Structures are given as structure tokens and as C-alpha cells.
Amino acid sequence: MPLPPLGRQTVGMRIEILQGDITTRSVDAIVNAANSSLLGGGGVDGAIHRAAGPELLEACRGLRRAGLPAGLPVGAAVATPGFKLPARWVIHTVGPNRHAGETDPELLGSCFRESLTVADGLGARSVAFPAVSAGIYGWDARQVAEIAFDAVDRFASSPAAGRASDSPLELVEFVLFSEDTTAVFRSVFGA
């Protein structure tokens, strides 16, 4: 049985944690834990590509042709339309892969910060994140949650972190597929 949503208000922004399918969220933008090719994959990436339809793959190919011939770097973020998703935009970010030796927490923090900056630049009022780099990329869900919440708190409270003083961003959701990961995020969030 899914855990009920948990939320709290931070400086000018609400943060919520819920268990569910990120592809069904009616938010302005969802974040895709993409691979650097931007051409789809497994897990959240594959689910988002399937739900958005083939237009998403074509938009990602366009990004590659237009300025990312080597793919999206780890820690960076870029947006495409959401196509068939309820979300207007998909923000693609490439998390660090611990199994490939990418163990710097700063790289993981950059995924969240850059995604928030892109969402802000799009004029999004709401954005939903998965547990970027948890799972197949080998990062512990607790560490992902700590880094993610720190990035959101810093973004919400500091113009130096990229947040414009008139930012429309009001809601950040963490939409987690498994009950175990949701429980970990809730535990860190409530600490």
C-alpha cells in the first residue's frame, strides 16, 4: 500500500514526497534521470520516453544535433517538451554513476541544482524529481535524499544558487517509485 504524501514549506517553496509514477504527475515539469546519450534507456528514463511518445526521442536527437554531439554531461540539465505527458516539459539530467567511479556528491547535487535552474528559466511553477542516481547508478537512497533536499533548500533561499527573486517555482515534488525509497526520503525529510 503506497505511503501517503508528506510535505513541508521551505523558503517560498513547498516540498512534497510521494510514492507513485512520475509520468502521471500533473506538474509543469518532470525531471528525467537520463543517460548522457539522451536517447532513452531503462528505469525512469525508459518510462518517461514510453509515456511521452516518439516525439520525445526526436526532440532529444535534435538536442544532440544542435549542440550536444557528445551527449549531455553528468550534472547538467536540459529541457524538452513533455509531448504526451501531463507535464508540459521534461528536464533531462544525467546523474553520476557510482559503478563508473563517479562518486563526487557535488556532481549529484549539480543534477538537482541545474534542473531547478532550468525549471525556473522555463517559468515552471511545479517540478517533480525521481531519486536521481539511486538504483542502477549505485547511489544510496539516503545520500541522494540528503543531497536533493540540500539543493532544493539552497535554491529556495539563495539568489546566488540560481533562484531569481521573482521565481515562479512554488512546488518541488519527489515522486518515488518504490515504497522503500519513499520511506528513506520521508525519513531524511523529517529529520
Query: So what's the pLDDT on residue 48?
Result: 97
The H or E element that residue 139 is part of is none
Q: What is the mean pLDDT of each run of 10 residues along the chain (191 residues)?
A: 59 88 98 95 94 98 96 98 98 97 97 97 97 95 97 81 65 96 94 56
Which residue(s) pair with 173 in the sheet? 16, 128
21 is a catalytic site residue: no
* Residue ranges per structural domain of the chain: 6-190
Query: So what's the pLDDT on residue 157?
Result: 83
Query: So what's the pLDDT on residue 44?
Result: 93
Q: How wide is the angle at C-alpha 176 spanned by C-alphas 172 and 179, nearest 5°?
A: 135
Rounded to the nearest 5°, which phi and psi values hold at 181? -65, -40
CATH of 6-190, one of 3.30.160.270, 3.40.220.10, 3.40.50.10490, 3.30.465.10: 3.40.220.10
Q: Which three cell numbers stand for residue 184?
A: 528513506
DSSP state of 134: B
pTM of the model: 0.92
Query: So what's the pLDDT on residue 163?
Result: 45
| Active-site residue, selected from the candidate residues 45, 104, 120, 150 | 45
CA gap 167, 3 in Å, rounded: 30
- For the chain, the straight-line distance linking the first and the last C-alpha, in angstroms and rounded, comes to 23
